[in-house]
Amino acid sequence: MTQKTDWWRHAVIYQIYPRSFQDDNADGVGDLRGIIRRLDHVASLGVDAIWLSPIFTSPMADMGYDVSDYCDIDPSFGTLADFDALVARAHALGLKVILDQVYSHSSDQHPHFRESRSSRDNPKADWYVWADCKADGTPPNNWQAIFGGSAWEWDARRRQYYFHNFLREQPDLNLHNPQVQDWIISVLRFWLDRGVDGFRLDAINHICHDRSLRDNPVDIRPKSGPDIKTYDMQYPIHSKNQPEALAVMERLRAVLEEYDDRAFIGEIGEAHHPADVLIQYTSGQRLHMAYNTALMTPEFSPEHFIREISAIVHDPRGGWPSWAFSNHDTMRHVTRWALHAVDEDRFARMTAALLLCLPGSVCIYQGEELGLPQAQLAYHELVDPEGLVFWPDNPGRDGARTPMVWAASALHGGFSDAPRTWLPVTPAHLALACDLQDGDRNTVLQFYRQMIALRRATPALNSLETAFLDMPENILAMRRGPDLVCMFNLGPAPTVVKHPPCAARDILLAQSVEYTAEDAFLLTGNACVIFRTTG
């Protein structure tokens, strides 16, 4: 067995959304061969790993997060041979490969669900979450689905309801059943044996439900506006985050420990006490880490960052921190936080420096390194079920999923030679294409490369040692390690930081900042500076 390196600690992980990265067979949808063709770009950033959103056989009701065969590749993406070639190429470039795994639910087209729904006494009858209706025919409880409406769907064949946290096409697996856990372990081993280095576990805090099916209580927290989704009107204490899920995590982790140098990263979507939930899932022999969705919200202030980072880093129970500002499910952060920006490019550079100075591991979403804003799409261009249901108040996730832009003057930005792509490429994105930024040291792309290299070369940025400094409004400053200070102006207004708590010795990186004769920093809007100190 190879010695474990804990490569995932402090790793910079690059998320690839395969449908939108590169289309190699000209059908308008990205594929594995296209990813292989573009891996040199990913490696040039200096990242440690790639995370692939689902590539498995799927009817695509939720763009691959509804899996109908967990051990094969969807034909739209390629073949298992293509996958093996991708792993080989990634490893040759020094990149680890992380696969997205969906264990909370499957597709309703999965053979296991087809068997489960056929009767109440078949071998897989208890592989999904079934319940009788109330006397009046209504669902067994008040649980709501994230994508709208009741989380229960009536099935006439079994004359029961089945539970679905997401779409009705995504029935929840019953992880209370040890046979289901055994099957998941067989899936894990299939991909581990093909050389996969890690797994991003989708919606992993949804894998177990309250067996008593108690109603969820009303969410009584103060809110800034009316709820769009009925799901957000509840405090889902019974439909997820059950203690049995932690035991399942320990079983899965034990499998990984049989292999050399593999890792779990979890998606813990949680609005109620997120730090506590993350630490539960990442302490002990459970997940190696779980990225914190608390930094993918509209809130953008020093107080917010200090509160959320401290809650993880300074908690004695442990749990490795992992951070992201954007992904395929959230609005791109350049747009989400636009009210705080002087201009998009400067803001994109500042937030890149901020993310890459955080203690722990980080995830970068494809296109983030180009400073891409959220694409603005018309209703007729949408395919995301969330956007189609909740438009226009919630336009869904398609605006974060549009194709990568490689070449400004090429058809569809160089993503595809097809007449039409599955989502359109917008003019705003073409203006930020990779070929326009590559080689220009003043671009967002080059800044990401510079900042990732600085993170890799600076021991203080690869420690968890973090202390926040008292600063004027809108200024976030943290001491990293014994002698490094990272300072950011989160707002658009210039701010003077008089008599910094430690004098700057070596400035390692600076944007829009001056060090004045009065031993003070002038940080213009969205400035950032990283420096060593004399004390």
Short-list 372, 342, 394, 532, CA closest to 448: 372
Contact yes or no for 35/70 (Cβ under 8 A): no
* Sequence-distant (≥ 6) Cβ neighbours of residue 328 within 8 angstroms: 15, 17, 53, 365, 397, 400, 401
Cβ count within 10 A of residue 481: 18
* Sequence-distant (≥ 6) Cβ neighbours of residue 258 within 8 angstroms: none
Token pair recorded at residue 402: 């549009």
SS3 334: helix
| From 31, 74, 202, 270, active-site residue | 202
Identify residue 179 by its one-letter amino acid code. Answer: Q
Contact yes or no for 52/78 (Cβ under 8 A): no
Residue 202 is among the residues annotated as catalytic for this protein: yes
| From 6, 40, 257, 258, active-site residue | 258
Short-list 17, 22, 97, CA closest to 64: 17
Is the bond preceding residue 392 a cis peptide, omega within 30 degrees? yes
Contact yes or no for 315/275 (Cβ under 8 A): yes
Identify residue 518 by its one-letter amino acid code. Answer: E
Token pair recorded at residue 270: 């949680």
Burial class (CB in 10 A: 0-12, 13-18, 19+), 26: exposed
Catalytic residue IDs: 202, 258
